[in-house]
Amino acid sequence: MYRDPVQSFQPEHQVPASLRPLRVGMIGIGTVGAGTFRVLRRNQADIVARTGRGIEIVIVAARQLGRAAEIVGDTGVTLTDDPLLVATHPGIDVVVEVAGGTGPARDWVLAAIAHGKHVVTANKALLAVHGAEILDAARRRGVAVAYEGAVAVSIPIVKALREGLAANRIEWVAGIINGTSNFILSRMRDEALDFDTALAQAQALGYAEADPAFDVEGTDAGHKLSLLAANAFGMPIRFADAQVEGITGLSRLDVACAEQLGYRVKLLGIARRQAHGVELRVQPALLPATHLLAQVHGSMNGVMVKGDAAGITMYYGAGAGSEQTASAVIADLVDIARLDCTRAAQRVPHLGFQAHAVRDLPVLPRADVCGAHYLRIPVADAGQAEAMANWLAARQVPVRRVALADAQPGIGPQVLVLTETVVQADLDQAVQALHAHPALAGRVTTLRVEDWMA
Ligand code: HSE
């Protein structure tokens, strides 16, 4: 029978106030699993408000049960050392696979699908190698396989391609999608570190794969690129066909020469639609130093997408990390939770979903906002710079940096000040008082310094 979608729309009061929580079994509780556990608990109230139901980890499979017990504490989560028990558990709706590897992980994921579970994974190698088989099994069983955490972890690039850019014919996707290689290149350039020292630092910081050859030889970026291309162009996952080159053969001299010419060397993954096929390649390449992707430093990732309607859009964020990956894993869980329920308010952002505590937060008045500031102070005598800084510091405005502006014809000496973080009311008071200072030769200019967006 035809149901008019508008007539059959259920107003809010007819929808059950709460559905039972989505029940999750997790395989692996290492860096990503522990982050997922932590963030889910910390932000549960907001997640419920946005999703319309809870998300509850019921059972976890771990290699080291003692360590897992420390992470889950007294939350009542069942622990096991048998991943298949999780994959086939009758009491769960979704399996989160964050153990890594391609052999056993394939068996666990296929078992979960065969048992009618949705799957969320951050395992790019698994999907790059066995994705066709896994996605086909999921399609036949009618379950979802979600993998936002597998590509440029904190950046919701899969969702951007599937949702935000769904109207577009994607022309190309290009990005810095391996944090470890980008970290090494940045350290080699900025601190003149040698390759091995920079790699050791990336490993110590937890960015690198268990086998770091995956990072520096371009394999990891190739895995991610093949997933991006599949999403962008609707093509199968073609990792085996990708052209993959890493940064191991790159010489510091070439990095320096490129710099001299105004370029920066970055390991880029590029998927580009051409008339007769798709370019799929990972390579170290020269980018103009002013290009947005050239500003992506350290372990950060950046992805640029060209769509025929939206034009170029760019996405930037952490490319590795525990909670950074957890953010993506949980976003996939939220999507799956919404498959079975949710009213319109929780599907699209009409802002009916904030947790109560947030709804009641006041907007801060200007006087209470904290931040750093730039001050340009015209003075009669260039020798006043230090005195001005001390004068401000004595009035609750600590100074981070003081300098004299380079001389400009017809313009008197200008003291330039960068403050530490101060309360706006304190700054306003000090600037007002400064206008009565005998050394002043004109009005003081103040501008906010927004250097906290690191
Ligand atoms: N080893 C990966 C990287 C971790 O460095 O980007 C996140 O996929």
Q: How large is the average pLDDT for residues 298-314?
A: 97
3-state secondary structure the chain: CCCCCCCCCCCHHHCCCCEEEEEEEEECCCHHHHHHHHHHHHCHHHHHHHHCEEEEEEEEECCCHHHHHHHHCCCCCEEECCHHHHHCCCCCCEEEECCCCCHHHHHHHHHHHHCCCEEEECCHHHHHHHHHHHHHHHHHHCCCEECHHHCCCCCCHHHHHHHHCCCCCEEEEEEECCHHHHHHHHHHHHCCCCHHHHHHHHHHCCCCCCCCHHHHCCHHHHHHHHHHHHHHHCCCCCHHHCEECCCCCCCHHHHHHHHHCCEEEEEEEEEEEECCEEEEEEEEEEEECCCHHHHCCCCEEEEEEEECCCEEEEEEEECCCHHHHHHHHHHHHHHHHHHCCCCHHHHCCCCCCCCHHHHCCCCCCHHHCEEEEEEEEEECCHHHHHHHHHHHHCCCCCEEEEEECCCECCECCEEEEEECCEEHHHHHHHHHHHCCCCCECCCCEEEEECCCCC
Which strands make up the sheet holding 118-121, listed edge to edge?
A: 78-80, 53-61, 19-27, 94-97, 118-121, 145-146
Percent pLDDT > 90 in the chain is: 80
Strands 370-378, 422-423: parallel, antiparallel or unpaired by DSSP? antiparallel
In this prediction, residue 384 carries a pLDDT of 87
| pLDDT band at 356; cut points 50, 70, 90 | low
More reliable by pLDDT, 350 or 257: 257
In this prediction, residue 350 carries a pLDDT of 63
Q: What is the 403 CA–ligand 1 centroid distance (Å)?
A: 41
Q: Which atom of ligand 1 approaches the CA of 178 most closely?
A: 6
Distance, CA of 419 to CA of 373 (rounded, Å) = 5
Q: How large is the average pLDDT for residues 113-117?
A: 97
Number of residues in the chain: 454
Q: How large is the average pLDDT for residues 367-373?
A: 95
Residues 89 and 187 sit within 8 Å (Cβ to Cβ)? no
C-alpha closest to that of 377 among 454, 445, 301, 450? 445
Distance, CA of 102 to CA of 123 (rounded, Å) = 8
The residue written with tokens 């899969």 in the block is 158
In this prediction, residue 255 carries a pLDDT of 86
Q: What would the pLDDT profile of 179-219 be if each residue is shown by its tens digit?
A: 999 999 999 888 888 899 999 999 999 899 989 999 999 99
Q: How many CB atoms lie within 10 A of CB 91?
A: 9
Q: What would the pLDDT profile of 250-271 be if each residue is shown by its tens digit?
A: 888 888 889 989 999 999 999 9
- Residue 45 pLDDT greater than 70, yes or no: yes
- Residue 402 pLDDT greater than 80, yes or no: yes
Pocket of ligand 1 (CB under 6 A): 153, 178-180, 207-209, 215, 220, 319-320
Q: What is the 145 CA–ligand 1 centroid distance (Å)?
A: 20
| Mutation to probe ligand 1, out of 209, 227, 268 (largest number of atoms < 8 A from CB) | 209
Q: Is residue 224 among the annotated active site residues? A: yes
Q: How large is the average pLDDT for residues 413-433?
A: 96
In this prediction, residue 370 carries a pLDDT of 95
Q: What would the pLDDT profile of 136-181 be if each residue is shown by its tens digit?
A: 999 999 999 999 999 999 999 999 999 999 999 999 999 999 999 9
| pLDDT band at 354; cut points 50, 70, 90 | low
More reliable by pLDDT, 62 or 344: 62
In this prediction, residue 363 carries a pLDDT of 86
Distance, CA of 33 to CA of 421 (rounded, Å) = 36
In this prediction, residue 17 carries a pLDDT of 44
Residues 435 and 375 sit within 8 Å (Cβ to Cβ)? no
- Residue 18 pLDDT greater than 80, yes or no: no
- Residue 52 pLDDT greater than 70, yes or no: yes
What mean pLDDT value characterizes the chain?
A: 91
Q: Which atom of ligand 1 approaches the CA of 151 most closely?
A: 8
Residue-range domains of the chain with CATH: 22-153+325-347 (3.40.50.720), 162-319 (3.30.360.10), 366-449 (3.30.70.260)
Backbone angles phi, psi at 200, to 5 degrees: -60, -40
Q: What is the 256 CA–ligand 1 centroid distance (Å)?
A: 25
In this prediction, residue 5 carries a pLDDT of 42
Residues 260 and 150 sit within 8 Å (Cβ to Cβ)? no
How many angstroms separate the most distant Cα atoms in the chain?
A: 86
| pLDDT band at 358; cut points 50, 70, 90 | low
Residue of the nearest CA to atom 8 in ligand 1? Answer: 320
- Residue 3 pLDDT greater than 60, yes or no: no
Please compute Rg for the chain using Cα positions.
27
C-alpha closest to that of 23 among 89, 85, 68? 89
- Residue 274 pLDDT greater than 70, yes or no: yes
Q: What is the 205 CA–ligand 1 centroid distance (Å)?
A: 11
Q: What would the pLDDT profile of 211-265 be if each residue is shown by its tens digit?
A: 999 999 999 999 999 999 999 999 999 999 999 999 998 888 888 889 989 999 9
Q: pTM of the full predicted structure? A: 0.86
C-alpha closest to that of 143 among 120, 118, 168, 165? 118
Q: How large is the average pLDDT for residues 331-346?
A: 83
| pLDDT band at 49; cut points 50, 70, 90 | confident
| pLDDT band at 1; cut points 50, 70, 90 | very low
